[in-house]
C-alpha cells in the first residue's frame, strides 16, 4: 500500500445537492438518512450564491466574485452576490448544527475543486481563470485558505463528527484534455500539464488532516492521477465506467483507494430492488478478480450525482435506496 492512509468510510452517503429551498428540511434529510455518514446539503434552487460555483466562490479569501450574464466573474471587492453566498451558507450551517446535536460519525462537506473552479470563474476580461497560470495558482491558494477556515468552523459546530472533505471536479477531465471552451466558444483553452493539475489538487487536499474525496460525475474520471494526488476516495457515476477502466480501478483499490460508487439515479427514475442497484458493482468485482469480502471495505454507495434536479420525494427515496443497497452489498458480496 502507498503512503496514503486508509479510512473506514461509512457504507453509504449522499453527493451534496438536494432539491428545494428549505435548509431545515434539507438538513433533516441529509442527517436522518445516514446514521454514520451525514453530509452538509446544498440547495442550488435558491439561486446565485447557492449554486456550486457561487457557494465555493464565497469561501475564497481575498478574492471575490460576482454574477455576470456569462457566469461568475472575479472582481475587486465583495458585493451582494458574495454576501448572498455567505448568507445561504450560514443558513445551511445553522440548520446542520441544529440537526446534529450529539452526532457521532462522519460528516461530509462539499466544495468545488481548484480546476473546475478555474474553468468556471472568469477573469475581468471574460476568459476563464484557467487561461492564466498565475491566476490559477492564486485561485488555488485562496481556495485552500478558505477551505481551511470552513473546515475549522464545521468542526466547531459539530464537534463529535469526523469531517470528510469532498472536492467536486466535474471539469477535471476537460481541463486535462484541453476541452474547456474560451469565451468566444470557437476555441478551447490549452490542456493543463498533468503535473500542474496534480500539484493544484495536492494543495487543496493538504488543507485537511482527515479524508478527502474527489467527486466527478463526468465520463473518463482520471483515477490514476487522483490516486497519485493523495485522495482517500474517488466518487463517480458508476454507469459511465467502461471495461477500459478496469485495470486502473483494480490498481487503485489494491492501493487502498475507496470507491464511492454512484449507482442510484440522480433524477426521478424507477428504482430496482437494493440488490439490483449494486449488481454492476458485484460484476465489476468478479471481472477484476478481487475478493468479494473486500467489497464493504472498498465501496461506499451513493447516488450517481447530486439530487438537485430530483423531486423531494424521490430524493429521500434515493438516499434510502443507497443505504439499503449498501446493506445488500455487505450481507451478500457475491
DSSP E strand boundaries for 71-128: 71-75, 105-112
Q: How far apart are CA 57 and CA 292, in angstroms?
A: 42
Q: Which of 12-21, 26-35, 249-258, 259-268 has the lowest mean pLDDT?
A: 249-258
Q: How far apart are CA 289 and CA 130, in angstroms?
A: 40
pLDDT tens across 244-269, in order?
899 999 999 998 999 999 999 999 99
Q: How far apart are CA 302 and CA 31, in angstroms?
A: 14
pLDDT for 293 equals: 86
Closest C-alpha among 182, 41, 55 to residue 65: 55
Distance of CA 206 to the CA centre of its chain: 16
pLDDT tens across 128-153, in order?
999 999 999 999 999 999 999 999 99
Average pLDDT in the 313-317 region? 97
pLDDT tens across 178-233, in order?
999 998 888 999 999 999 999 999 999 999 999 999 999 999 999 999 999 999 99
Confidence of residue 1 (pLDDT cuts 50, 70, 90): very low
Whose cell is 451582494? That residue is 80
Coil, strand, or helix at residue 105? strand
Q: How far apart are CA 264 and CA 266, in angstroms?
A: 6
Residue 83 has pLDDT above 60, yes or no: yes
Residue 108 has pLDDT above 50, yes or no: yes
Closest C-alpha among 122, 150, 148 to residue 63: 122
How many helices (H) and strands (E) in the chain? 13, 9
DSSP state of 149: H
Q: How far apart are CA 211 and CA 220, in angstroms?
A: 23
Q: What does the block give as the cell for 61?
A: 479569501
Distances (CA, A) of 43 to 26, 124, 257, 262, 308: 8, 28, 29, 20, 7
Distance of CA 197 to the CA centre of its chain: 17
Q: How far apart are CA 298 and CA 312, in angstroms?
A: 30
Question: Which of 1-10, 108-117, 174-183 has maximum average pLDDT?
Answer: 108-117
The string of DSSP codes covering 176-199 is: HHT--B-TTSSSBPPPPPHHHHHH
pTM for the model stands at 0.95
pLDDT for 6 equals: 62
Plot region of 230 (φ>0 → left; ψ -120 to 50 → alpha; else → beta): left
Mean pLDDT of the chain: 94
Amino acid at each position: 500500500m502507498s503512503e496514503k492512509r486508509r479510512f473506514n468510510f461509512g457504507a453509504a452517503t449522499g453527493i451534496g445537492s438536494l432539491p428545494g429551498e428549505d435548509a431545515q428540511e434539507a438538513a433533516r434529510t441529509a442527517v436522518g438518512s445516514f446514521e454514520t455518514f451525514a453530509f452538509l446539503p446544498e440547495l442550488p434552487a435558491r439561486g446565485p450564491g447557492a449554486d456550486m460555483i457561487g457557494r465555493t466562490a464565497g469561501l475564497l479569501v481575498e478574492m471575490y466574485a460576482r454574477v455576470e450574464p456569462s457566469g461568475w466573474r472575479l472582481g475587486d471587492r465583495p458585493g451582494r452576490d458574495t454576501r448572498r453566498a455567505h448568507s445561504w451558507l450560514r443558513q445551511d450551517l445553522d440548520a446542520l448544527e441544529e440537526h446534529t446535536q450529539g452526532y457521532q460519525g462522519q460528516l461530509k462537506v462539499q466544495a468545488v475543486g481548484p480546476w473546475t473552479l478555474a474553468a468556471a470563474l472568469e477573469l475581468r476580461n471574460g476568459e476563464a481563470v484557467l487561461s492564466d497560470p498565475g491566476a490559477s495558482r492564486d485561485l488555488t491558494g485562496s481556495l485552500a485558505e478558505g477551505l481551511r477556515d470552513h473546515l475549522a468552523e464545521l468542526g466547531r459546530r459539530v464537534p463529535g463528527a469526523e469531517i470528510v472533505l469532498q472536492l467536486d471536479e466535474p471539469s477535471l477531465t476537460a481541463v486535462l484534455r484541453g476541452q474547456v471552451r474560451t469565451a468566444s466558444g470557437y476555441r478551447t483553452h490549452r490542456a493543463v500539464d498533468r503535473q500542474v493539475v496534480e500539484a493544484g489538487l495536492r494543495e487543496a487536499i493538504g488543507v485537511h488532516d482527515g479524508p478527502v474525496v474527489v467527486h466527478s460525475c463526468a465520463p473518463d474520471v482520471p483515477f490514476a492521477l487522483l490516486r497519485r494526488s493523495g485522495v482517500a476516495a474517488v466518487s463517480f457515476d458508476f454507469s459511465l465506467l467502461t471495461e477500459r477502466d478496469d485495470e486502473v480501478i483494480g490498481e487503485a483499490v489494491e492501493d487502498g483507494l475507496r470507491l464511492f460508487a454512484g449507482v442510484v439515479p440522480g433524477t426521478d427514475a424507477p428504482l430496482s430492488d437494493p440488490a439490483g442497484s449494486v449488481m454492476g458493482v458485484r460484476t465489476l468485482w468478479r471481472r477484476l478478480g478481487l475478493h468479494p469480502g473486500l467489497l464493504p471495505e472498498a465501496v461506499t454507495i451513493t447516488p450517481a450525482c447530486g439530487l438537485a434536479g430530483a423531486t423531494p420525494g424521490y430524493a429521500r427515496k434515493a438516499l434510502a435506496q443507497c443505504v439499503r443497497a449498501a446493506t445488500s452489498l455487505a450481507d451478500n458480496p457475491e
